[in-house]
Structure 1
């Protein structure tokens, strides 16, 4: 059984005035973990009526690539029997998903990807659009390594607090970057600065082409810079079959912690896979 955060369908937030303070990027995405009480919501339960005219551009069908073009990223797809907001995968299979918020030092990002691959792991990267603008080559690096690539909004601001039009722009702007770089907007969307999406943001994400919002049940707290041993202890104390773990690019502590995390997962018989594989 997949644990999720309940989505209220009775209405969306009304359009407010102006953007929430500042577009500056901050270290972490959230200071609290997803709620432990939840009920399942099936795909298709949220209305997509607020889609902008551009939302239809993010569909699953893509043009055939030109000869010699690297394979495109997989198009977004719905996973049967999965809720709209996903906190973890099946507890009956010995798999976990390590998910990384994609921003920060590109050198550290490459180190993390190299370390994961050497350990036989595949991960999920939720990329910030401005980070992709600055380091477009990393989109292909992630996909060529066999990893998932998804959307973590354009500027990494508090998307749940934004008026409707601004929130939609944050989602679709990042989706546009992904599609331009890879041929697909990716399957996964994760809201910035929050562990779960508000009802409005969940609806807008679905309208933009993301059937599911990807949350997590294990927060590494690596963005607080607690040191590699603390990151390792936090993850390994909470991870279990089906877990989705929240980690970040951009922090040396995470690079230092990852080998020990992967070693212990392997010792426990838990395989680190992409979110797509976790839920397939």
Structure 2
């Protein structure tokens, strides 16, 4: 067994730019759609600041969506799960699979601050049954050690394993770190991943690349190692999210809320939706 752990670098970084879509919605692309191979298995990530009324009822097919609440409360309703509320620090893992129709809406009178990630799933599982998992902040595996709060929403990191079910294997971890603290989470060497700094600043990777609030830092290759890690050190109090996942390695065709493998499958999704057979 190969016990060597490859120390990852940061390959590149950037700062998403917020744009005002309306007087109740501003957003930034943490991951801009279209760069399918480079970001595999991640399709896009939006950072939204919004009030009630931004998103009406809408469908999805062929993906999993991962919502992480930074501030505010988000009401959600769908055709299967019923209704619920996500609070600050909560997350939700939605498997759209064959099809889901839902609404995500800020609580009335509130400005909600959230991240939503779209994760690709393999062709053979794109038509699976829809599923919701509400990941409450107080229910997630959590440890505070040496000035670092580690909360695992998906996957396993440093002895903590979340019960979250994934189609595409994904690790999602929230780190809240005191100034001067450090941690080196381990992730599979085959995973593609990134960090998003929500507060504070620090250094990342084996080359100690600087990262500040609002910056996205993509991990360098795992170099075909079975195991890899990424060193994180807080230069000031810091809140940072780590996302890493197993690439799907399949063609991506995306149109609106549907992500499939071929144009014909996208066409069929729209036909199903218009014919009322989308959710069967």
- TM-score, length basis structure 1: 0.27
Of the two structures, which has the highest relative contact order with CA contacts closer than 8 Å and spacing of 6 or more? 1
More helix by share: 1
More strand by share: 2
> Which of structures 1 and 2 has the bigger CA Rg?
2
- TM-score, length basis structure 2: 0.27
